[in-house]
Amino acid sequence: MKKSEAKIRIDKLKKEINHHRYLYHVLDRQEISEAALDSLKDELFKLEDQFPEFVTADSPTQRVAGEPSSQFSKVKHSQRMLSLNDAFSSEDVFGWLERLKRVDPNAAYDFFAETKMDGLALSLVYLNGVLETGATRGNGEVGEDVTVNVRTIESVPLQLASEGLSKQVARIEVRGEVYLSKTDFNKINLEREKAGEPAYMNPRNTAAGTLRQLDPKLVAARNLRFMAYALPTNLGQETHAEEHQLLKELGFATDPLAVTCQKVDEVFDFFEATGKQRDNLDYQIDGIVVQVNSTALFQRLGVVGKAPRAAIAMKFPAEQATSIVEDIQIQVGRTGVLTPVAHLRPVRVAGTIVQRATLHNVDEIKRLGLKIGDTVIVEKAGDIIPDIVEVMVNLRTGKERPFKMPKTCPVCAEPTSRQDGEVAFYCTNNDCLAKQREQFYHFVSKKGLDVDGLGPRIIDQLMDADLITTPADLFKLTKEDVLPLEGFAELAAENLIESLNKARVVPLARFIFALGIRHVGEQTALDLAKQFGSVEKLQQATPEQIETIHDLGPAAASSLTKYFSDAARQKYFNELIAQLQIQKPQQGASNKLNGKSYLFTGTLASMTRDDAKALVRDNGGQVLSAVSKNLDYLVTGDAPGSKVEKAMHLGVKILTEKEFLGML
């Protein structure tokens, strides 16, 4: 990479990482998986290593994450609360050992290895053996004083157990991880479900949110737990193993699995064994923490940036889950390659819902031995589309069906072919993809379905991420699908899904025009809508019937019948109309209220409410049944109800009856 390119990339990475770190550590919100964020950090780390001149003090590699939130008073940590560098492979671990050797070539290393809990760090300060302060990490230097909440955590002793030790040293600091057990987390979500509240994402976020609740009573009900992993105060410990022993004597829970390792091989063994145990533990762990056991050596090795040189976090590979392949469908990519995509029973992997997995090509399906209906292991490694890594053949029922590559392109129905020596099948129709892209642009455009905020740029993104192949796919998109795309924060994703939902209601004429059928322009679409009155009737129309329409020639007629008789298209077309509410044209109708939604409240002076609703529909508008963000206008008659207040609150425009009539 050229220096100038590296600079641009580094700047972009910093901005993006900072954005996600802020969401995660300050707001306790998550838009991309940790695996994805980790790999961004990894790339930045490596680039900065290569071009050290671009390392700045504000780089995410140079600081501990998060700013303290303003709700709690601040606590300055007596010693900075550090972070750990991550290792994702054995090479990373060996690289770390090399760096240790460079600093201290003669030192004899043994290691202490323990699980890395996926909760949040907490610092506890005891004065004369009594709990004085509990503080979050915050930005590492200054955290939040959450003592009132910490007091509710049963596993935090309010008084240290060993009187001898606490008499010896007046101020003792203990650090560790606050977490929610999996059992408690599931219980909370079950209760929320019953109460009709949305489920929480994961235990870590829930624990973080809970610890920063302003009402300690709510915190107490949640049953947070604490496990200690460090004793920054010198109580005579010479190794980290002794430190754990002391923590136990002081009355803290420590990692029951932790071990001392004489050789690095033992560290790898522990890593593997812990990984296997992972699902049996009642708390989430995301790796192990390995550190130089000797306290003196640990200190001598010092701090690099935000992390102690003597410790490293070995992370488990990306999270996996199992699901069922309900179907395998073909997506046509930008270059014409046909990619089989597994449609999965939705499953939560690493905090996001996964419904599709790429299968790459037929050879990959063969290699996996995958059939439709199989139970599979899905792995998400920070990618938009996750992978299927294994088929669980033992779970077969006998009803599984083998997959066959179709002989024709599912979009344009032209033959597909595979060139000698190539794994990929291609659509042979040169026009197919360009057409498809253009059709999407047309389909969502102002004169088409008029999907607010959805233009060519986003269509490209959705197509490139293989999220959409036919227009029907647009209406199956979920917030989770679009969140990983560049530029999609929570709100943007919500807005897009909302716009799509709004666009579902479409007058017949605009729908026909949106299809982009050759020779069918805006006026023809209007004429067709008027003549046939419904999609079904138009689908069944013969060329002769179509030609009876004034001004409509044989070219349009044959183009239309060809369009509707195409077998490959039929499937997605039916899927598409099932997603939409296509409005029949009304006699004497206008398009004056096109795309706008209305709701009436109170007694109208000049007509009944039903008449008013019909008027809206006749003129292309939509009638909603409740005030929501989706509503464009609330029309008020005499003695309107509580809807007005709600509409004002949501910023919905309020009209008088006269103003409404003025729109027509």
- Token pair in block for residue 320: 């996996």
State the minimum distance, in angstroms, from the CB of residue 121 to ligand IVH: 3
Exposure class string for 532-555: b at 16+ Cβ within 10 A, else e: beebeebbebeeeebeebeebeee
Cα–Cα distance for residue pair 326/342, rounded to 1 Å: 7
The residues, any chain, with a CB within 8 Å of residue 273's CB and separated by 6 or more, are none
Q: Is 235 annotated as a binding residue?
A: no
State the minimum distance, in angstroms, from the CB of residue 313 to ligand IVH: 6
Q: Is 412 annotated as a binding residue?
A: yes
The smaller minimum CB distance to ligand IVH, of residues 176 and 620, is found at 176
Q: Is 261 annotated as a binding residue?
A: no
Q: Is 83 annotated as a binding residue?
A: yes
CB 258 within 8 A of CB 177: no
Q: Is 114 annotated as a binding residue?
A: yes
Q: Where are the beta strands (DSSP E) in 270-319?
A: 285-292, 303-304, 307-308, 311-315
State the minimum distance, in angstroms, from the CB of residue 285 to ligand IVH: 8
Dihedral pair phi/psi, residue 131, rounded to 5°: -60, 125
The smaller minimum CB distance to ligand IVH, of residues 114 and 473, is found at 114
Q: Is 427 annotated as a binding residue?
A: yes
State the minimum distance, in angstroms, from the CB of residue 241 to ligand IVH: 13
Exposure class string for 187-197: b at 16+ Cβ within 10 A, else e: ebbeeeeeeee
Cα–Cα distance for residue pair 362/423, rounded to 1 Å: 7
State the minimum distance, in angstroms, from the CB of residue 222 to ligand IVH: 19
- Token pair in block for residue 445: 């455009």
Chain position whose Cβ is nearest to ligand IVH: 121
The smaller minimum CB distance to ligand IVH, of residues 178 and 433, is found at 178
Cα–Cα distance for residue pair 90/658, rounded to 1 Å: 74
The smaller minimum CB distance to ligand IVH, of residues 266 and 326, is found at 266
Catalytic residue among 14, 41, 116, 502: 116
Contacts with ligand IVH by CB under 6 A lie at 82-84, 114, 116-117, 121, 177, 229-230, 255, 289, 308, 311, 313
Q: Where are the beta strands (DSSP E) in 404-562?
A: 416-418, 425-427, 505-507
Q: Is residue 116 annotated as part of the catalytic site, yes or no?
A: yes
Q: Is 177 annotated as a binding residue?
A: yes
State the minimum distance, in angstroms, from the CB of residue 137 to ligand IVH: 6
- DSSP H helical ranges for 278-423: 295-301, 362-368
CB 341 within 8 A of CB 362: no
The smaller minimum CB distance to ligand IVH, of residues 65 and 538, is found at 65
* Dihedral sign computed on CA atoms, order 7, 13, 16, 21: negative
Cα–Cα distance for residue pair 340/358, rounded to 1 Å: 7
The smaller minimum CB distance to ligand IVH, of residues 77 and 116, is found at 116
Q: Is 379 annotated as a binding residue?
A: no
Q: Residue positions in the annotated binding site for Zn(2+)?
A: 409, 412, 427, 432
Annotated catalytic residues are: 116
Task: Provide the annotated binding site.
Answer: 83-84, 114, 137, 177, 315, 409, 412, 427, 432
- Binding region for NAD(+): 83-84, 114, 137, 177, 315
